A and B are shown apart, each in its own frame.
Chain A
Amino acid sequence: MKVKALTALLVAATCALSLAGCAHRRGPAPGQLTLGMVTDVGGLGDRSFNDSAYRGLQMAHARIGAYVQVLQSRSAADYQPNLTALTNLHFDMVYAIGFLMGLDLDQVAKQHPQQRYAIVDAVIDDPNVVSITFREQDGSFLAGALAAMVSKTHHIAFLGGQDIPLIEKFEAGYTAGAREVDPNIKVDVKYAGSFEDVAAGKELSNLLFNDGADIIYTAAGKVGLGAIDAVKSRDGDYIIGVDSDQDALAPGRVLTSMVKKVDVAVFDVARSLQEGKPMHGHVEFGLKDGAIGLTDFRYTKSAIGEANLARLKAIQAAIVSGKIVPPDSRKALAAFTPVPL
């Protein structure tokens, strides 16, 4: 009897509370552009492309009034459920952040041909997927050219995460850029075999510095944070950061960062949708879109010098104009010859 009464009370309380709560309704307004995003395992707060992509969504919210929703993935096992969950809520566009999600998105996209998707850093051959990639080789070319100008030992290095085609673009562009400036420069290349092992990043970059390299370009996710940690105690040596602006992580010791403005690309895709001219298929973003580039050297301007900065500007103009075509693979690098400016 007592139990029954208690149950009735609880049910009543629940009903009362649910009516009371009705005032705070959240969710998209009718007609509002709705954008969903699934992070990769890095999640929000990775200070890298997940954060950058989210900035793009916030831009879309601020400038074109989009409704924005993010689902974070704790592991790769969450990708499919998260993508499907947003699909089931009929978002106008669902962004998959990171090439890691490529196969999962391919599978989900085939099951939902009516839904629009966008993926960053991978090319998925489905009619309902916009594949956003970047001409990382362009920015890396600039990074390589700058490194060759600044290096005192004529010996620089590249530290990659995993040896996959995406990272190869960084390596090839960087090496070619360095040869553009100094055809005889020595470029050491090392891969950490991981994007997450911070300790390995520190270890490997110390190794490279001790071998005589004085500048290391990292394209290795969190591994790069280890390299930045290593350079803090090495006067005269530099790291070139990647993806987002990492200059402030070790002011004066991070020469520059090759930033990949995922936010710009994410926003452009959303805007195209809003304007009724949605992008299709494979879309490449590069220097001329402002989606790739070096930071503004705020801690290292004097170390680089005006002359070098002017020369860098000229190289950038040559890339945008098409006079220089940075290689995007080791094969293309082998065929690359410096272009006299």
Chain B
Amino acid sequence: MTNMRRTLAGPLGAVVLLVVLMSLAMIVAGTSPLDGFSALFYGALGGRSQIGETLVATSALLFPALGIALAFRGGLFNIGAEGQLLIGALFAGAVGAQLHVAGPLGIALLLVLGAIGGGLWGAIAGWMKARFNANEIIATLMLNFVAAYVSLALVSGPLKGPLATGAETAWLDQAYWLPTLLPGTRLSIGILLALAVAVVLWWLFSRTIFGFELRAAGDAPEAARRAGIDIGRITWLSLALSGAISGVGGATIVTGELHRFNTQLSPGYGFTAIAVALVGDLQPLWICLAAFGFGILEAGGLAMQASAQVPKDAIHVIEGLIILVLAARRYVAARAETTAV
């Protein structure tokens, strides 16, 4: 009972906080919260097309959130999902624009490339931590900027599409578009892949030796070391896997919805995903639910901006606050745990 309350208190509290803060934002913007929320929910769930957009955002958030959860469970605060997603998308977009193989094979190749790109980006941070004991928070954060500038440089120059004006590649041949899941919407079958990743992660955490060692390294590093677990290996491996999941997410955006790479293809999914992972209590299946909730905010937020004049950025500010609150709560809980013994 107490345990149940403990696990529910965080996410529920977050939702209450979210509603309160959003109401305040709406009032500041001169709209009644009643109108604002009805616009939000209508825009997110009011019909097939709306639900499609919500699930597009859900899918885009779910990949990096699962990646983040993997690293967090291993005790590594990977806040570089944004960069990992971007590099994954870049790999997929750069190759996808020039690809000449059969469709399904091509799509698979692009998704694998996304995983490689994101995984590489995560592994760099992991290697820095394992080799030089660099702080992974700083390393992953800084690699976000490196990813942004590297992709901008490449896509402004050699990889720029012939007709592109901004920083983007050429469009992918239609053969390499992920099939649509919900006809009449932009939703591709990428979301099924995301759900599959969630199930695999659940299995990984709860059943496998690797998941066991990963959790041990995260929950009690010294006991894990004494249990013969190679912490350095876990560190770079979990950051690489974490990045690979975010990278597949980036590749899914490229092949599923946008059909080309653009340096701005993520409006901060990698950061919002931190909140998603924390609200989901780092449990893959709860994270799916949390991603849906945040998908409503992302898709509904745009509708809210269009019909209720509340800037969508207000939602991002609020999401940022939630990350702060949840992270602080986790930090305090972790401190309490270590000082209590």
Query: Do chains A and B directly touch (beta carbons under 8 Å) in the complex?
Result: yes
Which residues of A line the B interface, CB within 8 A?
A: 7, 10-11, 13-14, 17-27, 36, 41, 69, 71, 74-78, 80-82, 84-89, 100, 103, 107-108, 111-112, 162, 164, 194-196
**When the two chains form their complex, are residues B30 and A81 in contact, meaning their CB atoms are under 8 A apart?**
no
Q: Using an 8 Å CB-CB cutoff, how does the interface string of B24-38 with A read, 1 for contact, 0 for none?
A: 101100111111010
**When the two chains form their complex, are residues A89 and B303 in contact, meaning their CB atoms are under 8 A apart?**
yes
Smallest CB-CB A-B distances: 9 pairs:
A21-B32, A75-B264, A18-B33, A77-B265, A85-B302, A77-B262, A14-B23, A18-B34, A10-B20
Query: What is the bound-complex CA distance between A41 and B164, given in angstroms?
Result: 12
Q: Does B83 contact A (CB under 8 A)?
A: no
Query: What is the bound-complex CA distance between A120 and B150, given in angstroms?
Result: 33
Which residues does chain A contribute within 8 Å of B186, judged by CB atoms?
A: 80, 84, 107-108, 111
**When the two chains form their complex, are residues B168 and A88 in contact, meaning their CB atoms are under 8 A apart?**
no
**When the two chains form their complex, are residues B23 and A88 in contact, meaning their CB atoms are under 8 A apart?**
no
Which residues does chain A contribute within 8 Å of B303, judged by CB atoms?
A: 85, 88-89
Which residues does chain A contribute within 8 Å of B166, judged by CB atoms?
A: 41, 75-76, 100
Query: What is the bound-complex CA distance between A74 and B316, given in angstroms?
Result: 15
Query: What is the bound-complex CA distance between A76 and B163, given in angstroms?
Result: 12
**When the two chains form their complex, are residues B306 and A86 in contact, meaning their CB atoms are under 8 A apart?**
yes
Q: How far is the CB of A127 from chain B (nearest CB, A)?
A: 15
- For window 250-305 of chain B, which residues contact chain A by CB distance below 8 Å? 257-259, 262-267, 299, 302-303, 305
Q: Does B165 contact A (CB under 8 A)?
A: yes
Which residues does chain A contribute within 8 Å of B19, judged by CB atoms?
A: 11, 14
Cross-interface CB contact of B306 among A22, A78, A85, cutoff 8 Å: A85
**When the two chains form their complex, are residues A21 and B50 in contact, meaning their CB atoms are under 8 A apart?**
no
Which residues does chain B contribute within 8 Å of A11, judged by CB atoms?
A: 16, 19-20
Closest to B22 in A: A14
Which residues does chain B contribute within 8 Å of A27, judged by CB atoms?
A: 35, 307-308
Interface centre among B32, B43, B56, B184 (most CB of A within 10 A): B32
Closest to B168 in A: A76
- Say yes or no: A80-B258 contact (C-beta < 8 A), given A21-B31, A23-B32, A86-B306: yes
**When the two chains form their complex, are residues B23 and A17 in contact, meaning their CB atoms are under 8 A apart?**
yes
Query: What is the bound-complex CA distance between A75 and B253, given in angstroms?
Result: 15
Closest to B48 in A: A88
Query: What is the bound-complex CA distance between A164 and B16, given in angstroms?
Result: 53
Q: Can you identify 26 A-B contacts, CB atoms within 8 angstroms?
A: A7-B16, A10-B16, A11-B19, A11-B20, A14-B20, A14-B33, A17-B24, A18-B23, A18-B33, A19-B32, A21-B31, A22-B34, A22-B35, A76-B262, A77-B264, A77-B265, A78-B264, A80-B257, A86-B306, A88-B43, A88-B50, A88-B303, A89-B307, A108-B186, A111-B186, A112-B49
- Say yes or no: A85-B53 contact (C-beta < 8 A), given A10-B20, A11-B16, A41-B165: yes
Which residues does chain B contribute within 8 Å of A13, judged by CB atoms?
A: 20
Query: What is the bound-complex CA distance between A25 and B168, given in angstroms?
Result: 40
Closest to A91 in B: B306
- For window 172-186 of chain B, which residues contact chain A by CB distance below 8 Å? 183-186
**When the two chains form their complex, are residues A17 and B27 in contact, meaning their CB atoms are under 8 A apart?**
yes
Q: How far is the CB of B40 from chain A (nearest CB, A)?
A: 12
Q: Does B46 contact A (CB under 8 A)?
A: yes
**When the two chains form their complex, are residues B34 and A19 in contact, meaning their CB atoms are under 8 A apart?**
yes
Cross-interface CB contact of B46 among A20, A88, A194, cutoff 8 Å: A88
Query: What is the bound-complex CA distance between A154 and B127, given in angstroms?
Result: 66
Query: What is the bound-complex CA distance between A88 and B299, given in angstroms?
Result: 11
Which residues does chain B contribute within 8 Å of A69, judged by CB atoms?
A: 306-307
**When the two chains form their complex, are residues A36 and B306 in contact, meaning their CB atoms are under 8 A apart?**
yes
**When the two chains form their complex, are residues A88 and B53 in contact, meaning their CB atoms are under 8 A apart?**
yes
Q: How far is the CB of B2 from chain A (nearest CB, A)?
A: 15
**When the two chains form their complex, are residues A22 and B32 in contact, meaning their CB atoms are under 8 A apart?**
yes
Query: What is the bound-complex CA distance between A26 and B305, given in angstroms?
Result: 12
Which residues does chain A contribute within 8 Å of B56, judged by CB atoms?
A: 81
Cross-interface CB contact of B185 among A41, A74, A111, cutoff 8 Å: A111
Query: What is the bound-complex CA distance between A15 and B305, given in angstroms?
Result: 21
Interface centre among A17, A41, A88, A194 (most CB of B within 10 A): A88
Q: Does B171 contact A (CB under 8 A)?
A: yes
Which residues does chain B contribute within 8 Å of A108, judged by CB atoms?
A: 186
Query: What is the bound-complex CA distance between A74 and B302, given in angstroms?
Result: 13
Query: What is the bound-complex CA distance between A14 and B46, given in angstroms?
Result: 24
Query: What is the bound-complex CA distance between A22 and B52, given in angstroms?
Result: 30
Which residues does chain A contribute within 8 Å of B13, judged by CB atoms?
A: 7
Which residues does chain A contribute within 8 Å of B158, judged by CB atoms?
A: none
Which residues does chain B contribute within 8 Å of A24, judged by CB atoms?
A: 30-32
Closest to B180 in A: A111
**When the two chains form their complex, are residues A85 and B31 in contact, meaning their CB atoms are under 8 A apart?**
no
- For window 187-215 of chain B, which residues contact chain A by CB distance below 8 Å? none
Query: What is the bound-complex CA distance between A7 and B16, given in angstroms?
Result: 8
- Say yes or no: A21-B27 contact (C-beta < 8 A), given A26-B309, A80-B186, A88-B43: yes
**When the two chains form their complex, are residues A100 and B35 in contact, meaning their CB atoms are under 8 A apart?**
no
Which residues does chain B contribute within 8 Å of A84, judged by CB atoms?
A: 49, 52-53, 185-186
Q: Does B228 contact A (CB under 8 A)?
A: no
- Say yes or no: A107-B259 contact (C-beta < 8 A), given A87-B49, A112-B184: yes
Closest to A22 in B: B32
Query: What is the bound-complex CA distance between A29 and B184, given in angstroms?
Result: 28
